[in-house]
């Protein structure tokens, strides 16, 4: 039976605090990542094919994430020596050096973050938590064990969230390749008649409630 006293994290709230052992030493989350964005992601188990492809995919994009001031943290319910041997195997056989830490969890963190599906045994699902530089949870993704993640989408999400914060805009579907407005961004809708008329005159639009502009354009 699930612990009814556990409150799973929600978007817009502070990310839960905990300490953990990783392949790169002990960490305190989110404290050790203050001032940085980070992505905490779980995988079902070490030495499994889909998880191996995912770790290679994340490492291949690690430099791109770091350019966005974003760090990566893996997690599964495996002992740290298993993580270390798996990382060594990836390096030896696939010639990819996994540079980010992997948390060795006994199940405590996975339960805290809702990473264990009751119908899938004790392994973690493929969860993704995107946390901003203030320790606020900005996005949550859950994937089934049999489906590997799209890491270009995760990278896109971080870029879009950071731009949204900086420019106070919203991002359309499939940004930056939206079917209606391309790589433009959506202006927040007006909250009164005067503002609606102003926005409709100032910005490209489909109507007063659907105005958009070029990225980086001055308000």
Q: Smallest Cα–Cα separation from 196: which of 184, 186, 185, 210?
A: 210
Q: Smallest Cα–Cα separation from 33: which of 116, 136, 127?
A: 136
Tokens, residue 25:
């030493």
State how far the alpha carbon of 24 is from the alpha carbons of 68, 87, 104, 127, 208, in Å.
Answer: 22, 12, 11, 21, 52
Task: Measure the CA–CA gap between 217 and 185, rounded to whole angstroms.
Answer: 10
Catalytic residue among 39, 40, 51, 98: 51
For this structure, is 51 an active site residue? yes
Torsion of CA 176, 178, 180, 181, to 10 degrees: -10
Task: Measure the CA–CA gap between 44 and 24, rounded to whole angstroms.
Answer: 20
Answer whether 90's CB lies under 8 Å from 58's CB.
Answer: no
In this structure, is the dihedral angle defined by the CA atoms of residues 155, 157, 158 and 163, taken in order, positive or negative? positive
Answer whether 54's CB lies under 8 Å from 61's CB.
Answer: no
Catalytic residues: 51
């Amino acid at each position: 039976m699930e612990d009814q006293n556990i409150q799973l994290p929600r978007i817009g709230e502070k990310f839960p605090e905990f300490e953990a052992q990783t392949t790169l030493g002990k960490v305190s989350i989110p404290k050790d990542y203050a001032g940085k964005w980070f992505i905490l992601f779980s995988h079902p188990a070490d030495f499994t094919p889909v998880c191996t492809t995912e770790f290679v995919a994340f490492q291949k994009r690690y430099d791109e994430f770091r350019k966005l001031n974003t760090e990566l943290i893996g997690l599964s319910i495996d002992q740290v020596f298993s993580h270390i041997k798996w990382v060594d195997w990836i390096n030896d056989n696939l010639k990819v050096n996994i540079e980010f830490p992997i948390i060795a969890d006994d199940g405590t963190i996975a339960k805290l973050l809702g990473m264990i599906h009751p119908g899938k045994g004790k392994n973690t699902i493929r969860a993704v938590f995107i946390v901003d530089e203030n320790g606020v949870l900005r996005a949550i993704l859950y994937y089934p064990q049999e489906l590997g993640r799209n890491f270009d989408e995760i990278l896109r999400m971080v870029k879009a969230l950071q731009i949204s914060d900086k420019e106070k805009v919203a991002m359309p579907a499939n940004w930056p390749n939206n079917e209606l407005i391309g790589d433009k961004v959506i202006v927040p809708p007006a909250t009164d008649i005067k503002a609606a008329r102003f926005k409709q005159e100032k910005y490209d639009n489909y109507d007063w409630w659907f105005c958009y502009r070029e990225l980086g354009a001055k308000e």
